Structure 1
């Protein structure tokens, strides 16, 4: 089942998982298929990113963000990510992608995707940095405005030390990329 079939399944089952509440988790179950593996017969690194995308889309769909983004001509956009792999996901192994919005500062949102084996062990962790881009006004939207537009009153929690280090590293790497232009 390639990405489109997995996405169709995620969309079709979204209502059964209920609305996404900020601070909660999205849990999507998968099995490592032959189309997912590399020559080491385990989930290839690109597939981790694609499955994390599905976790984010599930959050966007169930939180109402996709509907709001269409209405306001906003676009959720990835800024970057960092991933670590600690255990392999072998062919035919069942696992879950557990996705969450961790916190935010200004226009930047930190997300987390844990790949959890059927044994309960974490196989990989991906931290993401993203934002909501307002195409009409050519700016990133402050997350306080997004939260208010979603008609919720959740507040961001202070960033943890690993999250702050991730944001600093992301900012420096972004500056490096821009300097290369």
Structure 2
């Protein structure tokens, strides 16, 4: 089942899994299929990113963010990501993508996607930064404004050391890219 079918399954089962509650985890189960593997017969590194996208879209859908974004002509946009691979996910192995919104600062939200094997071990971790772009007003929307419209009364926790390092690294790399290089 290619990633589009997996995304469709997540969309079609979103209602039965209930609304996403900020601070909790979203879980999607998968199996490593022949279309997912590389020459080492384990999950291809690009597939981790695609499945993290499915986890992120699941959160956006179940939290009401996608509906709100369509109404306001907002576009969820990735800023960057970092991944670390700890254990391989071999062909036919079952695993879950456990996604969460961990904290935010200004217009930048930090997401986490853990790839958890069927025995409970973490196989990989993908950390992301994203924002919501307001197309008509040409700006990124502060996350607290989005949460207020969605009806969440939450305060972000302080970023962990790993999250601060990730955000600093992301900002530095973005500056290099903007300079052309």
5+ long unaligned stretches in structure 1: none
Task: Give SS of 1:11's match.
Answer: helix
Query: In the TM superposition, what whole-angstrom CA distance separates every residue of 1:124-156 from its partner, at most 9, and x where no partner exists?
Result: 000001000000000000011101111111111
Give the SS at the match of 1:20: coil
1:148 counterpart residue number: 148
Partner SS state of residue 43, structure 1:
coil
Q: Which deviations, in whole Å up to 9, do the C-alpha atoms of 1:100-138 show, x marking residues without a partner?
A: 000000000000000000010000000001000000000
Measured in 2, the distance between the counterparts of 1:5 and 1:165 equals 35
Tell me what 1:127 maps to.
127
Matched residue SS, 2:9: helix
Q: Where do 5+ consecutive residues of structure 2 fail to align?
A: none
Question: After the TM superposition, which parts of structure 1 deviate over 3 Å for at least 4 consecutive aligned residues?
Answer: none
Matches of 1:44 and 1:4 in 2, distance apart? 16
Summarize deviations over 1:67-97 as a string: whole Å, max 9, x none.
0000000010000000000000000000000
Offset of 1:16 from its aligned partner?
1.4
Q: Distance in 2 between matches of 1:37 and 1:149?
A: 41
- SS of structure 2 residue aligned to 1:92: coil
Match for residue 64 of structure 2? 64
1:23 maps to which residue?
23
TM-score by length of 1: 0.99
2:174 maps to which residue? 174
SS in 1 for 2:175: helix
Aligned to 2:39: 39
Cα deviation code 1:9-49 (max 9, x no counterpart): 11111111110011011100000000000000000000000
Is 1:6 matched with 2:6? yes
Measured on the aligned residues, the alpha-carbon RMSD in Å equals 0.7
**Taking structure 2 as the reference length, what is the TM-score of the superposition?**
0.99
Residue 12 of structure 2 aligns to a residue whose secondary structure is helix
